[in-house]
Amino acid sequence: MADKFVIGVDFGTESGRTVLVKVGDGEEVASHVHRYADGVIDEALPGGKRLPPDWALQNPADYIETLKQGIPSVLRQARVSADDVIGLATDFTACTMLPIDAQGNPLCFSEEFRDEPHAWVKLWKHHAAQPEADRINEVARQRNEPFLQRYGGKISSEWFFPKALQIIDEAPHIYNAAHKLIEAADWIVLFLTGEEKRNSCTAGYKAIWGKRFGYPSPDYFAAVHPRMRNIVAEKMSEDIYPQGARAGGLTARAAELTGLREGTAVAVGNVDAHVSVPATTVVEPWRLVMIMGTSTCDMVCGTELHTVEGMCGVVEDGILPGLYGYEAGQSCVGDHFAWFVENAVPPAYAAEASARGLNLHQYLEEKAARLHPGESGLIALDWWNGNRSVLVDVDLTGMLLGATLATKPEEIYRALIEATAFGARMIVDAFEASGVRIDDIVTCGGLPNRNRLLMQIYADVLGRELKIAASEQAAALGSAMHGAVAAGSQAGGYDTIQQAAARMARLSETRYRPNPAAKAVYDRLYAEYRTLHDYFGRGANDVMKRLKALRSEVLASGS
C-alpha cells in the first residue's frame, strides 16, 4: 500500500508555511513558505487609509493565497498524489479575529467596507484595544467574576472581547453589519469546509470560554457595554470542538483551490503554540513544552484544575483532549536579543563578525560563551516587552544593573539571555508551587537549535535537563498530526493524538544537562533576580509604571 500523507498549514505573522508529512513516521517530505503580500498592516490599509498607532491588521486574502500556493507546491515537490493525502489541518496566531458576512466572507472583501479599518482582520498584536480591556477587567473585578482566576487575574487587550468591544465602541455599523465575529483559526476552517465548527483552544484561551463554564454571562457583558449583552448568541457560537476533531470535508471550491480531493478530512482550527505540543512528543500531563522564539510560550497539561499565579489561561481540552491545558509565557525572548543586536552593538563588533562570516548573534554568542556565570557582574530584568507570566503586566519595563566602565557588549548580551532564563524559572516555580508538577521539559521553536549558549544557560538556571523537538517546524507538524487524527485510523490516520505522536513526533538527540557549578552560581543570581522582580513587579516601587505614564503624558502634551 502506498504511503499516506497529511498536510499542515501554519499561518504565522508574516508568512504561511505548508508542510507535507508522511503519516506513518512523521517525515516532513516537503514544505513551502508563502510570504504575505500585505504582511502586517500597521500603517495604512491597502486602499491607502492611514491607521492610528498600535493597530495591527492582516488581509485574509493572504491566507487564501498561502493555501493556493503552498499546497500544490508541496505536492509537486514530493510528487505525491492528492489521492494519498488523507487529512489537512491548520493553525493560526491568536487571537487573530475578523468580522464576516452571512456567506462567511470577510467584511473587508466587500466594496462597501474595504476602507473601514474595523472590517479587517485584527492581528494578535493589535494593541489598540487597551481601553476596552481595562473596562472588561474593571467590570469583571467589580462583579468578582470567577473566570478571572483562570486567566491570571487579567484579560489581555490582545484577546477576543477587547477587540470585539473596540469595534462596538469605534465602528458600531461594522459590528451591526457583521454576521459573525470569528477567530481566523476558525474562519480558515469555515473557508475550507463550509462548516463553522469553532475550536476549544481559541475559545478557551482567547474568548473566556470553558467546557464546564461556558462564556461569561450576558449580564456581565451588558455591564461592560449594553450592545455586548448578547454578543455570544448574536456574533459567536457555542458549538465548540476539542483539538483533533474533524470539522468536515474539503469543499469543491477549496479542493479546486488547493489541488486536494473534495471531502478530504479537515480538523478544527488550532493555535500555533498549542498545536506544537504533541509535535514535541508531549501528549501526557506534567511535561512542560517551551516554544521559544521571539517570545516564549509555556504549555503544560494536568489532570486537575489549579489556580496558578500569572497564567495566560487554563483550558480544559485546550491543548490535549481530556486534560487541562495550562499556558504561561514570556513576552520578550528572541525579540530581546534582536533589540540588543540592532540597537546596542558597536561597529567594531559588526566589522569583526562580518570579517569572520558570522552574524552578530553568532559572534556575540561565541564571545559570551567564554564568560563564566557571575563573571559579568550584571543582572537584568527581562521586561523589555512587559511581563506576561507571572506578573501579567505590560507596563513593566526592562532593567540592567551592574554595569561598569569595563562592561562589554557580550556581557550585556549574556545577561539578557540569563534574565530570560530566570524569567522561565519563575514560571516553572509558579507552576510547581500551585500543584502543577513539571516532570520534564521539552523545547521547540526557533531558538533551541540556533543558540547552544542560551540552551545551556537555561539548563543551568532551571537545574533541569532540556530536550529539543526534532522538528524545526513544530506548529506545522502538529497541525499535520491533527489532520491525521481528523482523518481517523480507518482512512489510514490515527484515532487519537497520542497514537499520532507515538509515530509522527520525535526528539532531537541533543540534550542540555545542567552543570552543577554553574547551577550553584545561578541559584545565587536567581535569588537576586527574584528580589528585584518582586521589588519592581509587585508594587514596592512602581517606578516603571510611573515612567511609562510620564512618557505618555509628555507625548500627549507635545511639549
Q: Which helix (H) or strand (E) holds 300?
A: strand 296-302
Stretch that binds a copy of itself, among 188-196, 308-316, 395-403, 506-514 (CB under 8 A): 395-403
500: cell is 499520532
* Minimum CB distance to a copy of itself, residue 361 (Å): 14
- Does position 528 interact with a copy of itself (CB under 8 A)? The reply is yes
Cell numbers of 335, please?
525579540
Q: Which of 399, 438, 491, 502 binds a copy of itself (CB under 8 A)?
A: 399
By CB under 8 A, which span of 203-211, 396-404, 435-443, 455-463 interacts with a copy of itself?
396-404
Backbone angles phi, psi at 390, to 5 degrees: -100, 5
**Site for a copy of itself contains 372 (CB under 8 A):** yes
**What mask, x for binding a copy of itself by CB under 8 A, covers residues 246 to 275?**
------------------------------
Rg (CA), the chain: 23
E strands, 3-103, in order = 5-11, 15-22, 28-35, 57-58, 85-92, 97-100
Question: How far is it, in rounded angstroms, from Cα 327 to Cα 321?
Answer: 15
Under rule CB under 8 A, residue 379 binds a copy of itself:
yes
Q: Quick check: helix, strand or coil at residue 233? A: helix
Q: Given the complex with a copy of itself, which of 92 and 337 has the nearer CB atom?
A: 337
* Residue number with CB closer to a copy of itself (230 or 359): 359
The nearer residue to a copy of itself, 283 or 415, going by C-beta atoms, is: 415
Whole-number minimum distance, CB 519 to a copy of itself, in Å? 13
Q: Which residue has the cell 507625548?
A: 555
Can you tell me the distance from the alpha carbon of 91 to that of 267, in angstroms, rounded to the nearest whole number?
A: 10
Binders of a copy of itself among residues 301 to 340 (CB under 8 A) are 332, 335-336, 339
Q: Are 355 and 397 in contact (CB under 8 A)?
A: no
Sort strands 466-469 and 440-444 into parallel, antiparallel or unpaired.
Answer: parallel
Q: Which stretch binds a copy of itself (CB under 8 A): 127-135, 285-293, 321-329, 518-526?
A: 518-526
User: 190 or 426: whose CB is closer to a copy of itself?
Assistant: 426
Minimum distance from CB of 558 to a copy of itself (Å)?
8
- C-alpha 113/C-alpha 310 separation (Å) is 39
Q: Does 374 bind a copy of itself (CB under 8 A)?
A: yes
Residue of 44, 233, 252, 344 interacting with a copy of itself (CB under 8 A) = 344
Position 541 contacts a copy of itself (CB under 8 A): yes
Binders of a copy of itself: how many residues, by CB under 8 A?
56
Q: Which of 49, 141, 524, 538 binds a copy of itself (CB under 8 A)?
A: 524
State the Cα–Cα distance between residues 421 and 414, nearest whole angstrom: 11
Within residues 146-175, the interface with a copy of itself by CB under 8 A covers none
Rounded distance between C-alpha atoms, residue 504 and residue 502, angstroms: 6
Question: For residues 252 and 550, which CB has a smaller minimum distance to a copy of itself in the complex?
Answer: 550
Which position among 103, 144, 343, 490 is part of the footprint of a copy of itself (CB under 8 A)?
343
Within residues 25-84, the interface with a copy of itself by CB under 8 A covers none
Which of 2, 102, 355, 405 touches a copy of itself by CB under 8 A?
A: 405
31's CB contacts (< 8 A; 6+ apart) are 17, 18, 19, 20, 74, 473, 476
In this structure, the number of other CB atoms found within 10 A of the CB of residue 89 comes to 33
Q: Is 403 in the site for a copy of itself (CB under 8 A)?
A: yes
- Distances in Å between the Cα of 109 and the Cα atoms of 58, 429, 430, 479 are 12, 47, 45, 27
Please give the Cα distance from 336 to 351 (Å, whole number): 22
Closest among 262, 314, 551 to 430, alpha carbons compared = 314
Q: In 3D, which of 537, 312, 309 has the Cα closest to residue 436?
A: 309
517 binds a copy of itself (CB under 8 A): yes
Asked if 356 contacts 371 with a C-beta cutoff of 8 angstroms, the reply is no
Spatial contact of 35 and 14, defined as CB atoms under 8 Å apart: yes
CA 372, 375, 379, 382 torsion-angle sign = negative
Give the one residue of 128, 266, 345, 476 binding a copy of itself; rule: CB under 8 A: 345
Nearest residue (CB) to a copy of itself, 49 versus 551? 551
| Per-position x/- string for 412-431, each x denoting binding to a copy of itself as judged by CB under 8 A, each - no binding | x-------------------
Indicate which single residue of 378, 453, 500, 505 sits in contact with a copy of itself (rule: CB under 8 A). Answer: 378
Between 459 and 525, whose beta carbon lies closer to a copy of itself? Answer: 525
Cα(491)–Cα(367) distance, rounded to whole angstroms?
53
Rule CB under 8 A: say whether 376 interacts with a copy of itself: yes
342 interacts with a copy of itself by CB under 8 A: yes
Nearer to a copy of itself, 155 or 396 (CB): 396
71 vs 81: CA distance, rounded Å: 11
CA angle 258, 261, 263 (to 5 degrees): 115
Q: Which of 5, 55, 384, 458 binds a copy of itself (CB under 8 A)?
A: 384
β-pairing verdict for 28-35 and 15-22: antiparallel
Least distance from C-beta 551 to a copy of itself, angstroms? 4
Which residues contribute to the site for a copy of itself (CB under 8 A)?
A: 332, 335-336, 339, 342-347, 350-351, 372-379, 384-385, 397-405, 407-409, 412, 517, 521, 524-525, 528, 531-532, 535-536, 541, 543-544, 546-548, 550-551, 553-555, 559
